[in-house]
Copies of this chain bind each other. A is one copy, B any other.
Amino acid sequence: MAVNGYGTIGKRVADAVAKQPDLELVGVAKTRPSFDARRAVDLGYPLYLAADAVRSDFDAAGLQVAGTVKEMVARADVVVDATPDKVGAENRALYDAANVRAVFQGGEKASVADVSFNALGNYAAARGKRRVRVVSCNTTGISRAVAVLLPRWGVERWDVTLVRRAADPAESKKGPINGIVPSLHIPSHHGPDVRTIFPDLEISTVAVVVPTTLMHVHVNHVRLRSAPASAAELVAALRSTPRFRVFAPWEQANGTPQVMEFARGRGLGLDDVPENVVWEDGVSLEGRDAYFFQAIHQESVTVPENVDAIRAMFDLAPDGPASIARTDRALGLSRA
């Protein structure tokens, strides 16, 4: 497989694929030389020129180029498109012309692909598909939580307030520096997007943007159809599900700064936290009303989903849980 667009998501998908025993990385396409381009070369990833790239820029930087993105696509059977929002849709013709399959990201409209995808939510729906869209980080986070609660207790209604990070850590031109910006359109696009995975879910989402770069935080209020025995039962369900990391009080991970500190020490690479982060003490139950926070690491949470999407498309695993287990083992994800 190949990765078109080697930014925040693309570099992580390349790393993740390179670690999988049953997948092979053909190369990555990048627009400009940078320390990230150099890293790709250092890691042995063949580096291709993205659409607007200028070969002489790479030559001047001493970065060896393996060819153009068109050549890269021709050598792959599937491309993960990790170009900026809306560019993926423009690239579709390129992949179609080469007769290769494609995985798109959540910044594209759902119509870009045959199906929208979340590994815990609807793995089977992507089987054999030629074009799959991995939903965005926030939609992935919500969908995973739905996949835990819905089959166990049923969901009457799901409300989420998304407290969104305004920029990624290395984006130094985006603000705000001081202030909160509400996303005035209600519901935010996330609710409808979750319904590309769970079409019948009653869900409403509202978003505000805040001046942090670290993680999104979701405040969930779920009215269940039947009541769990206790908040502890809910915690146990989350803790036993892959792609959830539940922090116990003694761990002292009081907020996203500490969660990222945990991530730095864990060393999965690039400070990744591909799991939904839940605080045990922040799970509460009143009758059928469950409340819980989850923190979502915007940079890495969809990465394992991209890997699973490929497996589903080529039917490389017996089912979702098997693919998830294989992906997570290769990534070094453990559940503590």
A224 to chain B, nearest CB (A): 15
A182–B217 touching, CB < 8 Å: yes
Oligomer copy total: 4
CB of A282 within 8 A of CB of B250, answer: no
**Which of A95-103, A110-118, A208-216, A301-309 lines the interface with chain B?**
A208-216
Chain B positions within 8 Å of A36 at CB level: 261, 265
Contact A163 B163 (CB under 8 A): yes
Contact of A39 among B173, B182, B265 (CB under 8 A): B265
**Residues of chain B with a CB closer than 8 A to A214's CB:** 178-180
Closest to A38 in B: B251
A44 CB-CB contact with B under 8 Å: no
| Proximity string of chain A (172-200) to chain B, C-beta cutoff 8 Å, 1 when within and 0 when not | 11111111111011110000000000000
Size category of the binding interface on chain A: 35 or more
Which residues of chain B are near A212, meaning CB under 8 Å?
176-180, 210-211
Say how far A87's CB is from chain B's closest CB, in angstroms.
19
CB distance from A140 to the nearest CB of B (A): 18
Quick check: B163 and A169 within 8 Å, CB to CB? no
Q: Which residues of A contact B (CB under 8 A)?
A: 11, 32-36, 38-39, 57, 60-61, 159, 161, 163, 165-167, 169-182, 184-187, 204, 206, 208-215, 217, 219, 221, 247-248, 250-258, 260-262, 264-267, 269-271, 279, 281-282, 284, 286, 289, 291, 293, 295, 336
Name 16 A/B residue pairs within 8 A (Cβ), A-sorted: A57-B250, A60-B250, A172-B258, A173-B174, A174-B174, A178-B213, A178-B257, A179-B215, A180-B215, A180-B256, A182-B282, A182-B293, A204-B291, A211-B212, A213-B257, A267-B269
